[in-house]
A and B are shown apart, each in its own frame.
Chain A
Amino acid sequence: MAVQKQTADLAGLAILTKERQKQLALLLSRVWAWVFLATLVLFFVVSVRQTSGGAVNFLTVRNSQNILVAITPVFLLGLGQTFVIIAGGIDLSVGHMMSMASVVSALAIRGVYNEGAPLFISVVAGFLAAVCATAAVGMAHGTIIAKLKVPAFIVTLGGSFIMRGVALLLSDNTTVIGLPPGVRDYGNESLLYLIRGEGGGIYFLNRPEVSGALLRSMDRIFPYPVVLTAIAAAIGIFVLKKTAFGRYTYAIGGNREAALRAGIPVDRHVIKLYMLSAATAGIAGFLSTLRYTAGSAVIGEALLMSSIAAVIIGGVSLFGGAGSVTGTVIGALIIAVLTTGLVMLNVQAFWQFIVVGVVVILAVLIDQSRDLIMGRMESE
């Protein structure tokens, strides 16, 4: 009797610690990206100071804003992609989709403005043109994927080529210029301006009229594109976590057949997801047009890989069913911090690619080892 009780107690203890191990593994896999990001920032703060002899500081207001501006397009491309991949799909067209949107919005802004519309109306027209054009293409992608059962990889690969061609055709293979000069302000001005020292201060919305050294020391905090992207991120987090739309996305990625049997309109939802992915790429294209006061048919080309990398580093499973928008924000931040930090360390730019590549593979390895640990615990 006593022996029996003892072994039962021991077994209970083993279960407890196993349970705790499991929770630890789960917690670690959930927070590792945060930890990694923090470590990365710390590393660059120390190493940048050391290599520059204390002259350069990594963690300045200006540098932090530069990083935010840099990740804006990567994150926006990754935002729609996050939804698509969680539902078990993939959208390879977002890079060229962004280019197409950049050209379309530049043409729209120029056209509407030249018709005599005010600047603000022209910019809004550019936004609508970019979003509508991309959403229409996304709808075509989604329809072919959902209704005609062509693999998403193929459809969006083809779509990527088509968007590239369309962007080059529409722009006549040159940068679309001749936009009203005020467009620049929408893409580069910010919510807050900070000038330190004599004659300085904090300015809200209105850029102070300064010149010379004061202008050079002026920091732009939360540029409009960053604000718009932050709003998009907040909406993305809300929709994925709190709404039926988000729940359907996870359900389809978790078990498509189950979602179908549960009466979820799977085909319609998949179409919406590709529209969403295309539209966030459209917003990225629109913002790049504002930022450079020009439409470019090649602006998004290099960003596809980075955006998928951000999504994967952020913990979205390519098998579908798992991931979050917050993860993608962190993924994009990690890539931007890496890139900026390495530049500030005067490391040759090509190393960025190598480091990002290693981090992507590492991220997936960590995810898999969690599943492995969990699986082993289950089977024990």
Chain B
Amino acid sequence: MEQTAVEIKQGAQTREPMLRVHQLVKRFGGLTAVNKVDFEVYPGEVVGLVGDNAAGKSTLIKCISGVHQPDEGEIFFQGQRVRFSRPMEARDAHIETIYQDLALAGNLNVGANIFMGREPQKSYLGGLIKVLDEGFMLAESQKIMGRLGIHIPDFSQQIETLSGGQRQAVAIARAVYWKAQLMIMDEPTNNLGVVEQRQVLELVQELRQQNVPVILISHTLPDIFAVTDRIVVMHRGHKVTEKKTSETDSQEIVQYMVGALDDRRDSYL
């Protein structure tokens, strides 16, 4: 039964990509940080984006999430051509980015963080007085955390008292709650303990179960191999290869990362 479901999903992959980046170029002065990159993400797929420092992977995802505006090329999201001039526009289109610094307020509790900037309110006196609906926020955050299988001991506590992994989970839960159609995760397991790293990776798998595609950026190749379906390798602004995770190994990927292998060059030869 499950086998067929997977097959159907893979069949769907050949049809319509969720995200399609076409010949994307981003320059900073004389430096070309991203150079004519093509790249697709399909529904329910986890794509690993790897490369050495300054390979251009952060710049690439910042173009997708609206932080940078590409100089050339096109981005299609859910079949529509998009141009984001600000990160908020990408978020409104349901592209959520989990940053390394998490973008959470440590002095607020789980519910307040999940609903930050979009707080539900109850109206009194015909809308004259509006009060935060704490009950709704608590119930919804308990629901979403439960759905993702995350255990939080006390929802009323400020999240700075939670562990790094739990905070990471709150950030992910927030994105899922607000109907993320594409999740970009930049080094999500950095600064986490071993157990917490595993929890976050499980969460990535959970996102795939929920059919939310993920772009995962990481320096940690074992993480990449543990959860991704496909791996895209960048080197000095170029995409040097793209492999199915099941058809490659870390040794090969490392050779692409350091520039020893390059599909473009090899195809010229």
- A251 contacts B88, CB within 8 Å? no
Residue from the set B88, B99, B108, B118 with the largest chain A CB neighbour count within 10 Å: B108
- Determine whether A7 belongs to the interface, using a CB cutoff of 8 Å to chain B: no
Assembly CA distance A262 to B118 (angstroms): 8
Contact B103 A257 (CB under 8 A): yes
Is A374 close to B, CB under 8 A?
Answer: yes
CB distance from A234 to the nearest CB of B (A): 13
The count of residues in chain A whose C-beta lies closer than 8 Å to any C-beta of chain B is 21
Bound CA–CA A259/B88 (angstroms): 12
B239 within 8 A of A: no
In whole angstroms, what is the CA distance A142 to B104 when docked?
24
CB-CB under 8 A for A251 and B116, given A258-B105, A322-B107: yes
List, in ascending order, chain B residues with CB within 8 A of A262's CB.
103, 116-118
* Most chain A CB neighbours (cut-off 10 Å) among B88, B91, B116, B118: B116
CA distance A257 to B106 in the complex (A): 12
The distance in angstroms between the C-alpha atoms of A374 and B161, with both chains bound, is 9
Complex CA–CA separation, A255 to B170 (angstroms): 15
* Cross-interface CB contact of A261 among B87, B106, B130, cutoff 8 Å: B87
- By a CB distance below 8 angstroms, the chain B residues around A253 are 107
CA distance A259 to B102 in the complex (A): 12
Which one, B105, B131, B132, contacts A321 given CB within 8 A? B105
- In this complex, which of B118, B119, B121 has the most chain A Cβ atoms within 10 angstroms of its Cβ? B119
Pairwise interchain contact A264-B107, C-beta atoms closer than 8 A: no
Residue of A nearest to B174 (CB): A262
Given A242-B131, A243-B130, A259 contacting B117 (CB threshold 8 A): yes
Once A243-B130, A243-B131 are accepted as A-B contacts, the answer to whether A255 and B105 lie under 8 Å apart by CB is yes
B112 within 8 Å of A by Cβ?
yes
Query: Which residue from chain A places its CB closest to the CB of B163 in the assembled complex?
Result: A378
Residues of B within 8 A of A321 (CB): 105-107
For B116, give its contact among A243, A264, A322 (CB under 8 Å): A264
Interface of B is mostly: loop
Assembled-state Cα–Cα distance A247/B130 (Å): 12
Query: Which chain A residue lies CB-closest to B159?
Result: A254
- Size class of B's contact patch? 20 to 34
Q: Is B2 an interface residue (CB 8 A)?
A: no
Asked whether, in the complex, the Cβ of B87 is within 8 Å of the Cβ of A259, the reply is no
The 8 A CB mask of A257-272 against B (1 = contact, 0 = none) is 1110111100000000
Interface string of A217-242 (1 = CB under 8 A from B): 00000000000000000000000001
One of A247, A255, A259, A378 near B119 (C-beta < 8 A): A247
Task: Please tell me if the beta carbons of B107 and A261 are within 8 angstroms of each other in the complex.
Answer: no
Among residues of B, the one whose C-beta sits closest to the C-beta of A264 is B117
| A247, B121: Cα distance in complex, Å | 12
CB distance from A22 to the nearest CB of B (A): 8
Q: What's the least CB distance linking A295 to chain B, in Å?
A: 34
Q: Is the CB of B132 within 8 A of A244?
A: yes
In the bound complex, do residue A261 and residue B118 qualify as a contact, i.e. CB atoms below 8 Å apart?
A: no
A322 to B102, CA, bound (A): 20
Report the minimal beta-carbon distance from B150 to chain A, rounded to whole angstroms. 19
A246 to B103, CA, bound (A): 19
Judged by a CB distance under 8 angstroms, whether B247 is at the interface is no
Residues of chain A with a CB closer than 8 A to B117's CB? 251, 259, 262-264
Q: How far is the CA of A321 from the CA of B118 in the complex (A)?
A: 19
Chain A residues with CB under 8 Å of B131's CB are: 242-243
A250 beta carbon closer than 8 Å to chain B: yes
Shortest Cβ distance from residue A264 to the other chain B in the assembled complex, whole angstroms: 5
Q: Given the known A-B contacts A247-B119, A263-B88, A263-B118, are A255 and B104 also in contact in the complex, defined by CB atoms under 8 Å? A: yes
Interfacial residues of chain A within 274-332, with CB under 8 A of chain B in the complex: 321-322
Chain B residue with the shortest CB-CB distance to A244: B119
**B108 close to A250 (CB less than 8 A):** yes
Output the least CB separation between A42 and chain B (Å).
Answer: 33
| Known pairs A254-B108, A263-B117, A374-B161; A243 contacts B132 (CB<8 A) | yes
A269 to chain B, nearest CB (A): 11
Q: Which residues of A contact B118 (CB under 8 A)?
A: 262-263
Top 4 nearest A-B pairs (CB, nearest first) are A262-B117, A254-B105, A254-B107, A321-B107
Residue pairs across A and B with Cβ atoms less than 8 A apart, 18 shown, are A242-B132, A246-B132, A247-B116, A247-B119, A253-B107, A255-B103, A255-B107, A257-B103, A258-B103, A259-B117, A261-B91, A261-B99, A261-B103, A262-B117, A263-B118, A321-B107, A322-B107, A374-B161
